[in-house]
């Protein structure tokens, strides 16, 4: 078992003919992901990557022709909200949006729309998901994790790779890694993933990687205290970040004194979570749990 993606995932790539879309589609295929279709409006009928992936003009056409059940989005920010609506309206089970820089008011409307239709979104501004040995959706390098029993959920991108890599170096495997993204309003959150990992029979321990800004980590801490039986190890980035400055991610900003790393670490420790001082400490902390 794993969560959200596995060998049954039939993936469609929105923005498949763009630079990043094409590069990562090739990477996903090489990993073994079942990429069944691509969508770029105006390029329907073409094939990319040496005839491996057919391109369609719309998500609906791609789904009708290929039975895709998951979409990953690489389109530019100004078209990304529309791409998410299109995926949701075409009956996708899961929509993963890699695109960074979507205006927050767009995302509030997107989230409202998806909630009403009960469509699951991961992202935006995220690296996607990886179920080692089975499927990768997004941009997480496939060669930095091995199959195993640790579930990983993270607000960050490359910091997530750092943790996966540290786990692999000590032969600790991963059930699924979910990058939920660094925007203030996104789809799937920490609590959703913690719940799924709790219910997943393969997952034994959980790593949660947070960062400054917002209160998602604090709410996750409450959830861990109330509902979780599996042990959680955490790391929070941004302990040296100054307040009032957006640290790259739109969501990573300490506002009005709220959202500091200190508060998050305190809330997590109160919930019995081991908090690492740096990412390379995580494997040892997992072993001790």
Partner 1 sequence: MKLHEYQSKQIFSKYGIPIPKGRVAATADEAKQIAKELGSRVVIKSQVLVGGRGKAGGIRLAKTPDEAGELAGQILTMEIKGLPVRKVLVDEAANIETEIYLGITNDRAARRPVMMASSAGGVEIEEVARLTPEKIARVHIDPMLGLREYQARDIACGIDLPREHTRLFGQIALGLWQAYVDCDATLAEINPLVITSENQLLAVDGKMLIDDNAQFRQPALFEMRDLDVEAPSEVEARRYGLSFIKLDGNIGCMVNGAGLAMTSMDIIKLFGGSPANFLDIGGGASAEKVAAALRIILADPNVKAILFNIFGGITRGDEVARGILAALHEVKTSVPMVIRLVGTNAEEGRQILAEAHMITAETLVDAAKKAVAVATGAPAAAGG
- Residue (123 or 214) nearer to partner 1, CB: 214
- In whole angstroms, how close is the CB of 245 to partner 1 at the nearest point? 5
Pick the closer one to partner 1 by CB: 44 or 248: 248
What is the nearest approach in angstroms of partner 1 to the Cβ of residue 36?
23
What distance lies between CA 17 and its chain's CA centroid?
22
* Contact status, residue 58 vs residue 38, Cβ threshold 8 Å: no
Rg (CA), the chain: 18
Q: What is the DSSP letter of 280?
A: G
CB of 104 vs partner 1, minimal distance in Å:
5
Decide: 204 and 1 in contact? Cβ < 8 Å.
no
Residue 80: exposure state from Cβ atoms within 10 A (0-12, 13-18, ≥19):
buried
Task: Respond yes or no: is residue 24 known to be catalytic.
Answer: no
For residue 180, is it left (φ>0), alpha (ψ between -120 and 50) or beta? Answer: alpha
State in angstroms the smallest separation of the CB of 243 from partner 1: 12
Cα(first)–Cα(last) distance of the chain, in Å?
22
Binding site for partner 1 (CB under 8 A): 19-20, 24, 27, 77-78, 100-105, 108-109, 111-113, 127, 139-141, 144, 154-162, 165-166, 182, 184-185, 209, 211-212, 214-216, 219, 235, 237-242, 245-252, 256-257, 277-280
Catalytic hit among 8, 24, 249, 278: 249
Residue number with CB closer to partner 1 (68 or 140)? 140
Element of type H or E holding 149:
strand 147-154
Question: Which CB, 78 or 287, lies closer to partner 1?
Answer: 78
Active site residues: 249
């Amino acid at each position: 078992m794993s969560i959200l993606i596995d060998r049954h995932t039939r993936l469609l790539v929105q923005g498949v003919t763009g630079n990043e879309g094409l590069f990562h589609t090739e990477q996903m295929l090489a990993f073994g992901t079942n990429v069944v279709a691509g969508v770029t409006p105006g390029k329907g009928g073409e094939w990319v990557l040496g005839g491996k992936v057919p391109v369609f003009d719309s998500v609906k056409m791609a789904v009708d022709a290929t039975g895709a059940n998951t979409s990953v989005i690489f389109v530019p920010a100004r078209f990304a909200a529309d791409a998410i609506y299109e995926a949701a309206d075409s009956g996708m089970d899961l929509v993963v949006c890699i695109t960074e820089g979507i205006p927050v008011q767009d995302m509030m409307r997107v989230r409202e729309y998806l909630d009403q239709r009960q469509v699951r979104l991961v992202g935006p501004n995220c690296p996607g998901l990886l179920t080692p040995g089975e499927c990768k959706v997004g941009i997480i390098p496939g060669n930095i994790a091995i199959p195993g029993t640790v579930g990983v959920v993270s607000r960050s991108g490359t910091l997530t790779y750092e943790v996966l890599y540290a786990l692999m170096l000590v032969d600790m495997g991963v059930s699924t890694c979910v990058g939920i993204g660094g925007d203030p309003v996104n789809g799937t959150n920490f609590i959703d993933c913690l719940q799924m990992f709790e219910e997943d029979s393969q997952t034994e321990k959980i790593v949660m990687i947070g960062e400054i800004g917002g209160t998602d980590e604090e709410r996750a801490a409450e959830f861990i205290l109330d509902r979780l039986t599996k042990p959680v190890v955490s790391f929070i980035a941004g302990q040296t970040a100054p307040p009032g400055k957006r640290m790259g991610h739109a969501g990573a900003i300490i506002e009005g004194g709220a959202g500091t790393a200190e508060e998050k670490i305190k809330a997590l420790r109160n919930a019995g979570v081991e908090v690492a001082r740096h990412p390379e400490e995580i494997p040892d902390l997992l072993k001790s749990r």
